[in-house]
């Protein structure tokens, strides 16, 4: 699959077959995601791979009170994507380098998430990034280390459907020249 095809055919997959991706494949996906660009190559994104059904069910029951519950019930794998805080966008003494303040760390995490999703797609796995969950409680439950924050959940697995592509804005809307 070439890069443009990978970018254009990746979809948010919300329903999966009942087959766990192997550890080797999970590690290949994360190894590819490690090549995401980041602020001064700080590489602040971290991934917790949750495969245990009981754990996934408890996460749904306690921390995902939305339509995302059904996605996680279907998914054999869930990445909790965390970031090390206070590095990306900051000087060594802790002062923000730009007027974006702590915005760059979320930016880096987004870049890392998309790289993870594209790598997964290239390797035959579907994914969906999820932003709606009870963050503080889940952070504690997953024992996210001090100095890190939970940013997003990414469900993953072998797709059992090929979702239709939601429409995209035209270049004439997206692009201006000066
Ligand atoms: C930051 C972010 C948060 C998202 N949160 C959710 C979510 O909570 N639940 C969900 O089903 N999809 C979620 N999505 C997926 C978007 O709905 C999806 O990317 C968008 O509709 C475009 O569809 P596509 O990914 O198939 O191209 C999220 C995507 C992003 C980037």
- Nearest in space to 120 (alpha carbons), one of 130, 128, 111, 132: 128
> What are 62-82's pLDDT values in tens digits?
999 889 999 999 999 999 999
Return the CATH number of 3-174, one of 3.30.450.40, 3.40.50.2000, 3.40.109.10, 3.30.200.20.
3.40.109.10
DSSP 56: H
**Ligand 1 centre and the CA of 48: distance in Å?**
20
Cβ < 6 A, ligand 1 pocket = 11-12, 14, 68, 71, 128-132, 163, 166
> What are 107-159's pLDDT values in tens digits?
999 999 999 999 999 999 999 999 999 999 999 999 999 999 999 999 999 99
Which of 131, 159, 166 for mutating ligand 1's site (highest number of atoms within 8 Å of CB)? 131
CA distances from 133 to 61, 116, 148, 158 (A): 11, 20, 17, 23
What contacts 12, CB < 8 A, 6 or more positions away? 127, 128, 129, 163
> What are 23-56's pLDDT values in tens digits?
999 999 999 999 999 999 999 999 999 999 999 9
Within 10 angstroms of residue 149's Cβ, the number of other Cβ atoms is 16
Q: What is the CA radius of gyration of the chain?
A: 17
Atom of ligand 1 at shortest distance to CA of 71?
11
**Nearest CA owner, ligand 1 atom 27:** 11
| Structure-block tokens of residue 73 | 């019930």
* pLDDT score at 65: 83
Residue 100 has pLDDT above 90, yes or no: yes
Cβ–Cβ < 8 Å for 6, 118: yes
CA distances from 31 to 3, 6, 23, 26 (A): 17, 17, 12, 9
């Amino acid at each position: 699959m070439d890069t443009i095809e990978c970018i254009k055919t990746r979809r948010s997959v919300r329903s999966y077959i009942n087959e766990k991706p192997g550890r080797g494949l999970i590690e290949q996906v994360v190894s590819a995601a490690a090549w995401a660009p980041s602020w001064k190559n700080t590489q602040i994104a971290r991934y917790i791979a949750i495969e245990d059904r009981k754990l996934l069910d408890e996460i749904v029951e306690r921390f995902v009170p939305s339509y995302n519950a059904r996605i996680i019930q279907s998914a054999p794998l869930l990445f909790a994507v965390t970031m090390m805080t206070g590095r990306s966008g900051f000087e060594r003494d802790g002062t923000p380098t730009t007027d974006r303040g702590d915005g760059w760390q979320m930016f880096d995490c987004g870049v890392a998430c998309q790289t993870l999703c594209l790598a997964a797609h290239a390797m035959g796995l579907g994914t969906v990034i999820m932003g709606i969950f009870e963050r503080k409680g889940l952070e504690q439950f997953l024992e996210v280390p001090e100095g890190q924050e939970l940013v997003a959940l990414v469900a993953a697995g072998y797709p059992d459907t090929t979702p239709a592509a939601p429409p995209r804005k035209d270049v004439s809307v997206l692009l201006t020249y000066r």
